[in-house]
Amino acid sequence: MRNIMQYWLMKSEPDVFSIDDLSARTSEPWDGVRNYEARNFMRDQMKIGDLVLFYHSNATPSGVAGVAEIASASYPDPVQFDASSKYYDPKSSPEDPRWHLVDVRYVRHLPRLVSLQEIKANSNLSEMALLKRSRLSVTPVTKGEFDEILRMAEEPA
């Protein structure tokens, strides 16, 4: 039986790691997430091949810049054990890791950025978790929402 494809939105600050950076790599471990709900999505629900809206946060403007895909099963985030990392977690251990991640792989840039402002203005997207949970860096997206964002990117802003 084949798995049902799921859709996600993952935020990254483009000054730190942008869709251009992702496109230059084979895949990227999505490390540093330190929110339990976001972790649970990665650890428990993401499957290889799920599609991701790559969202630029803290940007001018912020918005969806591209598409990525989940490229690995979840595994413990290695930087949680690295005392020199800003993401080091002294309460975690390899025997009982607290933080898990997945690898993310570039699929494509959108023809243009679909801004947060446009997303807010589109009544088809009013239920997006992005809008309801503005601080969560990993959120689920419905197929309808995913398709709508891609459709918007094909049209002039």
Tell me which residues touch DNA (CB under 7 A): 11, 13, 34-37, 57-59, 62, 116-117, 120, 133-137
Q: Could you tell me the smallest distance in angstroms from the CB atom of residue 3 to DNA?
A: 27
Minimal distance, residue 132 CB to DNA, in Å: 7
Q: Which residue has the tokens 């950025």?
A: 113
Q: How many CB atoms lie within 10 A of CB 7?
A: 19
Q: Nearer Cβ to DNA, position 93 or 134?
A: 134
Interior/surface letters 38-57, b for 16+ CB within 10 angstroms, e for the rest: bbebbbeebeeebbbbbbbb
Structure token pair of residue 15: 């000054």
Nearer to DNA, 36 or 144 (CB): 36
Name which of 2 and 90 has its Cβ closer to DNA: 90
